[in-house]
Structure 1
């Protein structure tokens, strides 16, 4: 099976049509069709149905989708590992939940680059479930996530207790979301807790998965939103942001997950740096209200 066939299949699903997939891949529509036919011929199953609403996966296509995604991820990792830049000794693939990059994983990368400049890094982000699957597939070496699955062959190490607080540009800060509320999608756990605490909340001013962008929007235009306490701590200290501690606080422990394997000097260095950065990232409790 050709990796190009699997990548073409995924692009057709992502774009919804053969024409759009051809444009994104910079190939002709006939080449897209030929690759899909060849793929279906090798598997002995029809993977796609074409209709007026666009291209839809068949039952077999649904089953093949995750395998195609894993194949492409593995291929990209292999290319990255084999094609090390000159002067680099090894490569490390790291993954992190959306909410954990700002103020934690970005500083970790900076610290790791300083501690081990001959280590090439590949960074991925996503939700905990997807990153856990990447660990299982072997496309990520270490991931920092919430609610990890208990899987044999992996170490699940507590890293820090993440607190999402309702930060506001108003003073005093309101005890619940109001006008100018920014909803940041921090993942399924946060979505569940948010619905339970604010079941009648009106549509927010901004709905986003990008925490850094949402915080910039908040400080520029005013309002409120849920953000990690460690991220808004500088704004609180500067008097730009305010927190009413009567508002619900959502706590989620974060873990670093990595495989149990033979000793790996570079992974050990990365884990030590992550522990240190996590300890430095935890804000003091004083002056947060």
Structure 2
């Protein structure tokens, strides 16, 4: 199967631009045109029309799009089912938002193996946008992420919530915290919106980062203050390295399970989602 023809067609459905698709796929524009012509030749119809307004789908292209998505997903599933996984019946590939690997990965791995003893697991830490792309391409079977990127091939559902807490290397109240000492956590668009609404005076902090471990390191290295995961804050407070910032609100971060749309009702995926939802229910943040 010439999967690059499907990938090129589906990317063009999104970009509506031969130039942009060429850039995104890392090929030349002539290669994109050649792939489209080859696919049109195999189907016996035109899939795109080009005008001054840009590139659009023909009626035949609109009809073919859902079939192309199904073909791509079917090919990814075929590769997964025929791939070797040692003595295990299958290998499940799971993506985790980077912040989720700090304190939860050990518990999840034990629970995953208990729920699916017949499976082998491959775990990869990444960011939301890349994990969504990997789910679409078939490189992942399930992802746990902060920022859903809606696509026709993906299904998202909320499984829980994390809590971030403001700490400081010096005892300080929120009202007297100077912005020069503040390290702004830029965890996700939802987190940033909540932060801006609650603490507009700290939005323009001179240093920011999108990863819990990096924010923690910067706070300690710069004698600063900022938001870290509740578990991280508690560990640092107990170790005497930081203090809770008085009157600073906790900021919640929703956590979503993402999986290919066609696999959302499969028993294996449902068991994993159930494990994840139970984990967050048992670890609800303090109010």
TM-score (norm 2): 0.61
Aligned-partner SS, 1:84:
coil
Q: Give the alignment of 1:113-262 within 5 angstroms.
A: 115=114, 118-123=118-123, 127=128, 140-141=141-142, 143=144, 159=160, 161-172=161-172, 174-175=174-175, 178-201=179-202, 203-252=204-253, 254=255, 261=265
CA deviations 1:56-102 (Å, max 9, x no partner) are 974549x9999978875664454234313211212335455554343
Structure 1 residues 112 and 57 mapped into 2: Cα distance closer, same or farther (>3 Å)?
farther
Structure 1 residues 179 and 277 mapped into 2: Cα distance closer, same or farther (>3 Å)?
same
RMSD: 5.1
- Residue matched to 2:109: 110
Aligned-partner SS, 2:48:
coil
Aligned-partner SS, 2:235:
helix
Number of equivalent positions? 260
Aligned-partner SS, 1:86:
coil
CA contact (8 A) 1:94 1:121 kept: yes
d(CA) in 2 for partners of 1:271, 1:20: 32
Moved more, 215-224 or 89-98: 89-98
Aligned-partner SS, 1:227:
strand
Aligned-partner SS, 1:164:
strand
- Residue matched to 1:53: none
